[in-house]
Amino acid sequence: MFEAVGLAFNESKRSLLSSRLAGRIQKLGLESFEAYLAVLEDPAQAAEFQMAVDLLTTNETYFFREPKHYELLERELIARKSRAPLAVWSAASSFGDEAYSTAMMLADMQQKGQVGPDWSILATDISHRVLLSAKEAVYPQDRLRNVSPEQLRRHCLRGDGPAEGQVLIQDKLRSRVQFGQLNLAKDFTGLGPFDVVFLRNVLIYFDPPTKIEVVDRVLRTLRPGGLFFMGTAEGRVNCQTPISVIIPGAYRKAG
């Protein structure tokens, strides 16, 4: 896992691995974790390896998580007083909650004339499964508990009948978000430059040296003066790229 995708699990994560993988091992009819490891080491079982990555990296998420980050982003964009193109990257997008939350906010700001019409959001994740779900853009209503009633009316469709309790993001908002698979632990090229980057709640899976590499790699895609968001519980990473703290979990790239 570390060699392929940078995931680092120490002894304290033993119970996490056990609980996340036990059901899959049972479903495959395998007798032990050793037997499952043999499957994962088989080059012909790339799909199963991806399944294991999905099981080990999928976390609970919801719309407008860490609201203070969105409040800060809105203030910064208003203060920018520019209708220039705006590019945002959700670098560990999971099921798309973060990307669609940002799209809702930018669509509302565009309607008020606070940002121009030329804005885009790139959302990437290592998990193929969560990206497929994100593209479908159907969510349990509880995941949108931080979305205002006005935003729900503007940007979402509520399910009824068999789909009651589910919410679908409208096409006009979905079209603003491009999804793609990306391994942050490996070198990548061709992304950016971005004005805003979210890298939240993913660094917990990496060891300290990999964290620094990932943060610096991601920050290289951010414009000087751009905004960088991490999960507030993750703490600051000692990256090489100069950044300054604005509020907990929110930084500005020097430049």
Residue 27's identity, in one-letter code, is: K
CA distance 139 to 157: 11
Residues that are catalytic: 20, 125
CA distance 7 to 205: 5
| 99, two tokens | 């990307």
Cβ–Cβ < 8 Å for 249, 66:
yes
Cβ–Cβ < 8 Å for 73, 105:
yes
3-state SS, residue 85: coil
- How far apart, in Å, do the first and last CA atoms of the chain sit? 36
Any alpha helices (H) in 13-165, and if so which ranges? 14-27, 33-40, 46-57, 67-80, 97-111, 128-136, 149-155
